[in-house]
Chains A and B, each alone.
Chain A
């Protein structure tokens, strides 16, 4: 499979999925984010790096939080940002999705940040944009959410030094989670010692172990001696499809409580991609407790997105005529 996320010289052109990216590139994203995060401490919280660039936040699926962090990241880089919320019903045909895209492209957009309810949508858009346009995947269906995964890796790195020594557990709805898929790929690429997924069979993909994880159906066993616990959001609609009997029973079996947290290492950190369903996947006392780094994740999201945006737009110089490498 060719990796169309990278330029010929191996730089990031689009950011669609973690799959296929090498460890040095993931490390570079985190290192650059580290630099950008210092900007927040200044009086003027922006740099002129992307001055004159136009970034379109193309959200076919609503998400105020993710859109806001992308918007803020773009603004801190001095880019011009447009937010477009396009209801999926208006573009249920592929034809009009392409039409929408080409129309926006005609406005001299340099980058699309795309959120879509269909797996593979960002990939599809990346295949059809003009050569000078970059595409960042802000979540496609159940497939990938690479910037979320990278901000999670960044958060882990801030707290834990060495990835190969870590044992990471992801609890919940892996089957429908683009976040989990990208996290698993990022953790594997960074060489994490053991990745565990914990959940009922109805919420795990049927060939889950082929993703490179150990599968646990018992949360007590799964949490034993882990360094990092990632809880996933449980969508309410999962109760409808006969995947789960009730939120109450889910919390009893797979909710992260203080008692269960005791099974992990004493210095384990607790993460959640948000928004949290308190009392469904995580107890309030844990979400707000001393081991929780959930709000830090939100903060780091901006720096990670600044890093990815600037790297992708920076690689466009390779396509410019008469450029020197």
Chain B
């Protein structure tokens, strides 16, 4: 693992290649996790071309599946989950921006299973960082990075496109 971040476009291209390599011919449905995961999923869909994924992008808002409700209460509002397709017996590709504790993916998997029973779920992430708290790993990884507990990495989507920012708590 490295500690410096590579160029995002490079990471996305490498992820797109891996996806094409591993998941072709599976008629994949694409699902992004709000908010960063949706941005990454959109970028991947663009790189892979319109026909690669079946149907339009699904989005998940895992706010109601989080495990920290009693500790921090309601989260700020984001758009609700929207899966514009039936997931029964389908192969899904779940996308997020950063894999850290693994709790978000746990929540997302729970939510997906409330919509139906998929044939399989693969997981793609732009940045895989250290600090896992659950036995969860990604299938497609842009970059792995070693960070301390005090360090945070955040994806933003501004005027100049997607950007990764590394911050440290004082």
User: What residues of chain A have their CB less than 8 Å away from a CB belonging to chain B?
Assistant: 11, 28, 31-32, 34-35, 38-39, 42-44, 46-50, 52, 77, 310-311, 313-318, 320, 323-325
Interface assignment of B163: CB less than 8 Å from any CB of chain A: no
A36 to B11, CA, bound (A): 35
Query: CB distance B72 to A42 under 8 Å?
Result: no
In the complex, how many angstroms separate the beta carbon of B13 from the nearest chain A beta carbon? 34
A32 to B71, CA, bound (A): 20
Interface assignment of B2: CB less than 8 Å from any CB of chain A: no
A39 to B65, CA, bound (A): 12
Most buried by B among A28, A317, A324: A317
Residues of the B chain whose Cβ atoms lie less than 8 Å from the Cβ of A310: 64, 74
Query: CB distance A323 to B69 under 8 Å?
Result: no
Residues of the B chain whose Cβ atoms lie less than 8 Å from the Cβ of A311: 74
In the complex, how many angstroms separate the beta carbon of B60 from the nearest chain A beta carbon? 12
Interface assignment of B116: CB less than 8 Å from any CB of chain A: yes
Query: CB distance B77 to A32 under 8 Å?
Result: yes
A–B Cβ pairs within 8 angstroms, 11 of them: A31-B77, A34-B80, A38-B80, A43-B114, A47-B64, A47-B111, A48-B64, A310-B64, A317-B70, A324-B71, A324-B72
| 8 Å CB contact of A44 from B72, B80, B114 | B114
In the complex, how many angstroms separate the beta carbon of B136 from the nearest chain A beta carbon? 18
Interface assignment of B81: CB less than 8 Å from any CB of chain A: yes
| 8 Å CB contact of A317 from B61, B65, B69, B110 | B69
Query: CB distance B73 to A315 under 8 Å?
Result: yes
In the complex, how many angstroms separate the beta carbon of A95 from the nearest chain B beta carbon? 33
B79 and chain A: residue at smallest CB distance: A35
Interface assignment of B139: CB less than 8 Å from any CB of chain A: no
Given contacts A34-B80, A38-B81, A38-B82, whether A43 and B116 have CB atoms under 8 Å apart is yes
A293 to B164, CA, bound (A): 48
In the complex, how many angstroms separate the beta carbon of B68 from the nearest chain A beta carbon? 9
Given contacts A38-B81, A47-B65, whether A323 and B114 have CB atoms under 8 Å apart is no
Residues of the A chain whose Cβ atoms lie less than 8 Å from the Cβ of B82: 38
Interface assignment of B85: CB less than 8 Å from any CB of chain A: no
Residues of the B chain whose Cβ atoms lie less than 8 Å from the Cβ of A77: 64
Residues of the B chain whose Cβ atoms lie less than 8 Å from the Cβ of A39: 64
Chain B 73-117, CB within 8 Å of chain A: the 1/0 string? 110010111100000000000000000000000000011011110
Query: CB distance B73 to A49 under 8 Å?
Result: no
Residues of the A chain whose Cβ atoms lie less than 8 Å from the Cβ of B77: 28, 31-32, 35
Query: CB distance A42 to B74 under 8 Å?
Result: no
| 8 Å CB contact of B80 from A35, A50, A315, A316 | A35
In the complex, how many angstroms separate the beta carbon of B38 from the nearest chain A beta carbon? 16
| 8 Å CB contact of B72 from A28, A34, A43, A323 | A323
Residues of the B chain whose Cβ atoms lie less than 8 Å from the Cβ of A317: 69-73
Most buried by B among A11, A42, A48, A325: A48
Residues of the B chain whose Cβ atoms lie less than 8 Å from the Cβ of A52: 70
Q: In chain B, residues 105-158, which have Cβ atoms closer than 8 Å to a Cβ of chain A?
A: 110-111, 113-116
In the complex, how many angstroms separate the beta carbon of A301 from the nearest chain B beta carbon? 18
Query: CB distance A48 to B110 under 8 Å?
Result: yes
Query: CB distance B115 to A44 under 8 Å?
Result: yes
A34 to B80, CA, bound (A): 8
